[in-house]
Amino acid sequence: AQTVTQSQPEMSVQEAETVTLSCTYDTSESDYYLFWYKQPPSRQMILVIRQEAYKQQNATENRFSVNFQKAAKSFSLKISDSQLGDAAMYFCAYRAGGSQGNLIFGKGTKLSVKP
Amino acid sequence: DAGVIQSPRHEVTEMGQEVTLRCKPISGHNSLFWYRQTMMRGLELLIYFNNNVPIDDSGMPEDRFSAKMPNASFSTLKIQPSEPRDSAVYFCASSFGTVGLSRTFFGQGTRLTVV
């Protein structure tokens, strides 16, 4: 069974600085997709960034980028120029390729941003 | 589009009572997911539907839980009888297709408290 592990329950960053959130996963599949979701106090799950496993190039979305290391099964999220609005829970998620469409989530990392 | 709509946003009920959570997916989406979020277990898939048909219900905790999707625009998750350990946030999510980078959209969740 696939699993997703986020080893940092909490992280803190100074406003305008850069922070990296870690995520590792375990799978025997070769075709899969990885995602980072943000959950602010409003509870809304917001997709931050996504990556296809077959792509070597790391995905980027404005201030958010990933470091995808397929051999190491690692998928970390880097937030540059951190803003107060980035404070939230961040969840790493995995989805197998093929027809199985559900997301498997890590336990999350709570990010605090200090002014 | 208004996004995935869940109701109610909050529900407080007494142990033993029946609880029904409702979800309206995004129009045109053909996959619907019910997730449960707790501090201890994180986000877990309960069940998911594709074209109104349940595909994977292995995450449904026990017979007290049931889910239906009578049409493409409505789904319910019912707990009967409810127990205090069912207290959690229940998310409904939908997507168009279940493969690749198809994006999963989440509702704002229902916070259920069973006393």
Band of residue A99 on the pLDDT scale cut at 50, 70, 90: low
Q: For residue range B9-34, what is the model confidence (pLDDT) as tens digits?
A: 999 999 999 999 999 999 999 999 99
Question: Given CB atoms, is A97 within the 8 Å cutoff of chain B?
Answer: yes
Decide if B100 and A33 are in contact by the 8 Å CB cutoff: yes
pLDDT at A2: 86
Q: Are B6 and B109 in contact (CB under 8 A)?
A: yes
Band of residue B96 on the pLDDT scale cut at 50, 70, 90: confident
Q: For residue range B31-78, what is the model confidence (pLDDT) as tens digits?
A: 999 999 999 899 999 999 999 999 989 899 889 999 999 999 999 999
B2: Cα within 13 Å, side-chain hemisphere: 8
A104 contacts on B by Cβ (under 8 Å): 45
